[in-house]
Structure formats: C-alpha cells, structure tokens
Chains A and B, each alone.
Chain A
Amino acid sequence: MQLHKYLPLASDRMGTLWALASIKDACIIEYGPAGTTHYGIEGFMQLNSELRASLYTTHMDENNIVMGDSDRLVETIKEVDAVYNPPYIFVVASSISSIIGTDLECICEDIQGEVSAKLIAFTGGGFRGDYTLGIREVMTALAKKVVKPPVTKLSKSFNIIGSNVDCYNFSADLKELVGIMQEAFGYSLNTVFTANTSIKEIEEAARAEFNIVLRGEGVEAAKYLKDNYGMEYIEGAPYGFNGTLNWIKGIEKTLNVKSNQIYTSKQMEKARRLIMRVKHTTFTYKSFNAILSGNYDMLVDIYPFIASELSINVVNAFVNHGIKEGAYRAMSEELSLKTLINASEIKKEEQLSHIKPDIIFADGVLLEIAEAVPMKLQVSNPNLHNIQIYEYTPYMGFNGATYIIEVLLNQINLNKKKLKSGY
C-alpha cells in the first residue's frame, strides 16, 4: 500500500533540488506551481543545510496546463539570464510539467542561442524514481556539463563526490575527511559534489589529482572524470578505526603514495584502548542487538565497525531507498542477509517489535517509530527534529569512531537498568 503514517520516500525531483541547492551561484528555475518550491525551500532546514543556490519558480496556471503554453518558462529563463547573468541555469521539471508532457530539454535547446547562460534541464518530475536518482543525475550532469578541462593541475589535491545535504552528518564528516587527508597524505580538498561548494569550484574540479566517491550515486560522475580527465577515484567512506585504516590503505594503493605512519599508528593505538573499553562495558550484558538504517553505502561502510569492532549484534539493516542494479558496490553476504531494501513502515514496525533491539543507529523516522528502544543514535535522514550546527562531531574517520563510542558509552550508562532487565 502507498499509505504512509510517517514519510513517503523522497522523489527524484527532491533529490535533484537537494543536490543543486547547496551549490553557491547555481541558478535553478522550477517549472511548476509555486507551492512546491516554497515547501522545498523550507525543507532544506530539516536537512540542516542552507539554500546556497538561487532558486526561482515560474508558478503555473490553468492556461499552462490546459493549453500546454510554456511561454511563461521561456520568459522566466530569459529574465533570469538578463537580470542575474548566471553562467548556468538549471531548469527543473515539476510533477505537473512532466504529466502534461512539457519537453524541457527541447525548450532549453530552442532558446539556448538567445541566452548567455548554459541551460541544463532536469526532466525528472518526481515519478521516475527516488531521491537517489535525482542526486545521481545532478552529479553526473555537473561532471559532464559544468566541469571544465583543467588549465593546470593542482598537486596534492582531491575532490569528494557524494557528500550531499541528504547525508545526515555531511558537514562534520566533510571536516573529518579533509583532516584525515591532510594528516595522512598532506592532501588538500579541491571541491565537493555537491555540499558546501560553488559553481566555480565545480568548474575547476578537474584540477584535482583524484576523486573520493562516498556513495554509489557519484560513480557515474567519477567514471566520466576518469575517462575524460584521467582522474583516478576510490569508492567508499571511512567508518570505524579499521575501516578508516583500510580506506587510507586503499588511497595509498590507488595513488601509489605512502601515508603518514606516525599519524595512523597513533590513531590505531587510541583505537585499541577505546575498543577494549567498549567491550569491557558491554561484556556484562547478555545481548546487544541493533538495527541500522540509512543509505546503502553508509550501511555497507559502517556495518563492519558496529558489528566487528564494537561487537554489536546487528540484526537488521534497512536501506532507505531503492537500489539500481549495478550502481552500488557489492554488500558482504553477512550484511546482505540482514538487509531489507526500502522496507515499508509496517515492516519496520514488525521488525522492531520482533527484534526488540537495545540500540538503533537510524534515521529520524525510525527513531520516532522506535520510541521504546532505550538507546538511539541518529545517523541518517529523514531528519525530524535534530539541529546540527557543531561541525566537530563526525561519524566518519578516526574521530567519528571515537565520537560514536563516546555516545554509545553514555547511552549505556544512562540505560543500565533497561539493558539488564530488557524492556
């Protein structure tokens, strides 16, 4: 059933807007009723993000719908081009413009010669897939249509592809990744696709030496950049101590560089102490069952940390979106047996009451559904209530692992009785 007590799965159109809206100087025109734009703008706050792009709506009336009259869109594009002179205008379809069959690509092609801005159309009006499709399409379009051939290369620099505002902890995780790359390799960040970036930075993305791809939605863009500008890429995000160390080793191999051994040894020494402390704390409890939820790549990368390093028994993992065949890395067999793809609210409720987890690492909706679960940590979106301002509480990297352990130990301390008696 398509009935939802909580939230439906965000659509491709929402993903498109989320990915574009965090790019400074990006100019977006939506062809649709104004209400969706207004709603969308307010939605950015829930993602703990701000609207960095310029976003306009054309609005639509009955004439546009009944007669298919798209003059309003053409006039709006010309007006925005003349008034603001943006280098690119991203023209985004709405559900209504898709249904009435407005051919955005054709319109953009027709008037391209009359405007200075390069017009890039996104035709997904919300019915072609979920938000991951919109995010994938934006990153690919940026790589193909915005990134320019580099005049000079920027040595010891990298890009991050796939840190987008729909990633719950994107801001803190970005800081952590930049810190690791600096400490381990002396590399600096060139730009990000697409959180906290700008059109100019994206144009100059090919100056960097290589790309770090955090999610499957960014692979198409990374492949294009590799094929056209010779930029190598590595896929995956660093979660946990071992995960981060392996991730660093992956970069060493791909780039044929050596990491700072003093830095990594120091981090791993700290890791041993902290892991020991967690095991010592959890040892006294009979069971320590967990449920995870989030996007596919995050689950793939965080699972070994939670299951192996922290020795928490992950019973279920919910991937909160659909999976495009071949677009993601393979999941371990162990995790795939526990994973439910795009499960319904009812299924999640059933699993929660069946498993009775002691802890969930989850999105805001699951946190709400799992009111009775004693220990909770939000690791993914949708976000309902949390405000994220402080940028030094990552989940990725060595510091992320440390921070998660700190939260975990505090939650255990607060819930000792419940953990012993069950709930």
Chain B
Amino acid sequence: MSTPAATPSQSRWIVLDRIRNATQSVAADPGQRADAYAALPRAYLRRGALSAEARIKLMIERLREYDAEVIESTPAALPAAIAAQLSASGKRTFVAPEGMPTAWLASGFDWKIDHNLTTAEVELAEGVVTAASCGVADSGTIVLHHSPAEGRRVLTLLPDWHLCILFASQVVETLPEYFDRCPKPPAIHPSDKDPSLGTPAIHPSDKDLSLGTPALATTISGPSATADIEMTRIKGVHGPRFLHVILVRDEI
C-alpha cells in the first residue's frame, strides 16, 4: 500500500471535490440541468410502424431465431395450451410464482408454489412457468419485472426449462415503446421502498398497460448463451437452456 488510508468520508469528499473542480465550467446549475437533459437530441425511432399482426409475427420470428419454442394460443385455450406444453416437455416437477393464476396450474404435475422456497428446492425443479411484463418484437426480448405472477428472480434462473406466457397486448415493436410503458418513477423518500412498483397486465380485461419503473427487471433474449470459445454461439451456459413462449392472442 503506497498511499495512506483515507477514511471513507474523506474519500467521498476527495472524489466529489475533484469532480466538481473538473466540471465547474460545464456543469449546469440544478435549475437548468433538467432543461439541458430535455434538450438532448433524440431523433431515433421511438414508435414502430408495423400493424398489430405484423408486430406479433416479428416477435415470434425473433424469438425463434434465438431457438426459443413459440406457440400461439387464445385466452380461452391458454390453460390447455400450458398443459400441452408441460406434457410435451417430459418433465414432472415445476415451480410457479406465488401470484400465478390458478387456472395455469395444469393438473397431473408436481407443482411447487413459491411461498419462499429455498434455493435448493428451486434447484430441484425441472421447469418453471411464469407471466411476463413486456415483449419487444424488434429484438425478440421478454421483459420481467418480477411481479407476483412473474416470480422472484431465482425462479426463472435455476430450472433448466422456462415456459413464459406472453400476451399480445404486452408486445411492443421497439425498445423505446417498452420504456414509454414505464413512466417516470415517483420521487423516492428515504423511507419509501416498494419492491414491485409494476404489475403486469396478465388478464385480457386489464387494459391499463402502464408498468411503472421497476426496482427489479430482467430482460431475456433467447436462452443463455456464450460465444467465448472461438466465437461459436453455444446455447445454455448457466441460465435455463430451454425457453418456451406461449403467445396469447388477447387483442387481435
């Protein structure tokens, strides 16, 4: 150790002081910072131009490019579609998020509902079924906000097989459209802490598509992958190796 140890508060003061000195000629004053931010150029594509049908088609195409299995269903046929997927998987033990609709819990399988399951219990499950918060067609991305129907992060991480239920009304074309569904978060007060600010529109009747800004979010674009060895894309390193999606036609 060449330098003498600075106390934590000293380091904070030193770093912030250096930054203030370095930026004093360019930093906007607090009142003008929001204006300077609002004036930043944003000429990129915000809204997609595809029809609703083409948007869903694109979402499915992009998911399949990632080797995800996609089937389409309707709200009425969804429970049967889930049961069919579970049967076809050849697996028996599944975990489900605490807030998942009971109609999705197909009979004939071992379900472990996540009432604070231990990591070891989740690790023993062969598969998981969850809802989602949003789908972004442009990149084939599924966004989870880990609401009660989407489950804690560990549920969609340890089981090797993930069946994700995505509604057509949740699918947007561009990434900025997803962010438009997450409006500015409310001002946080020191005592304020809401782990799940957003609830997904999992029922077709729920027309409010606003998601809120998530405290936790995971985006999934195909199964886990690596290209670290000779840039050869290998599916399935640590996350689920198999991603299945049921796209529920709730609005078209």
A, B co-complexed: no
B contact set with A: CB distance below 8 Å: none
